[in-house]
Amino acid sequence: DIQMTQSPSTLSASVGDRVTITCRASQNINSWLAWYQQKPGKAPKLLIYKASLQTGVPSRFSGSGSGTEFTLTINSLQPDDFATYYCQQYNTYSTFGQGTKVEIK
């Protein structure tokens, strides 16, 4: 099984901050990685796929990385961005990271 480890688990930030979330894979997944945003009581929403390709989300969301280390960056955090973020590998089967909660500082 490919394990996905996100860090940090919780992140406290203020509106306007630049936020970076890291996702590490236990083995090489090339660029087969997606990022999702989930708000309480809602389904996850796809933000980024193939590590860096956007899905029509605001341009402040960007993804980078390949192999085993990946990052999701949110430039100038907005009030609507406080949520939990998950990474997902889909190189071999599919597994998710444990999530990173972005909360208001």
Q: Which residues of the chain form contacts with other proteins (CB under 8 A)?
A: 1, 32, 34, 36, 42-46, 49-50, 55, 86, 88, 90-99
Q: How far apart are CA 92 and CA 1, in angstroms?
A: 8
CB closer to other proteins out of 19 and 100? 100
The least CB distance from residue 78 to other proteins, in Å, is: 22
Min. distance of Cβ 51 from other proteins in angstroms?
Answer: 11
Type of residue at 69: E
Residue 86 near residue 79, CB atoms below 8 Å: no
Within 10 Å of residue 14's Cβ, how many Cβ atoms? 9
Query: Least separation, in Å, of the C-beta of 34 and other proteins?
Result: 4
Closer CB to other proteins, 6 or 19, in the complex: 6
Output the six-digit token pair for 67. 């192999």
